[in-house]
Amino acid sequence: MAVRAVRGAVQLEQDEAGHMDEQVGALLTAIMERNELTADDLISIWFTATPDLHSDFPAAAARKLGIVDVPLICAQELDIEGAMPRVVRVLAHIESDRARADIAHVYLGAAAALRKDIAQ
C-alpha cells in the first residue's frame, strides 16, 4: 500500500458557516467517492482557506461527515492580488494501491479553473 496525496478545491458563494459545511462536505465526499476511499484510508488532511473566509474552520465539515479520528489542520492561503476569492483547498494524504497517475483530484465548480491540468 502506497502513501498518496489527493488535491481538491471549491469556491464558496458566500462566507457563511452552513454554506462552508455544505460545500467542503461535497468536496470531501467527491474526493472519497472518486478515489474509492473510506475513512480508514485517510492519513491526514490539510485545509487552506483564502483570507476572506472567516465563518468557520473547513475541517469542521470533515468532522460532521464522520471523519473523527484523522488528523486535520487548517491554515490561511496566501493573500495574492488577483487570486480567486472564497476558496477552500484540500490536500489529503491517503493509503491507496492506485498509481499516482490514477488519483482523482477534485476541483468543484468555479475552482476547476485553478488547476485545469488535473481537475476531474
Report the binding-site residues: 7, 89, 107
CA gap 43, 66 in Å, rounded: 15
| Sequence-separated (6 or more) residues with CB below 8 Å from residue 10 | 23, 24, 26, 27, 87, 88, 107, 108, 109, 111
CB 22 within 8 A of CB 85: no
475541517: which residue's cell? 59
CA gap 26, 45 in Å, rounded: 15
Binding site for prephenate, by residue number, is 7, 89, 107
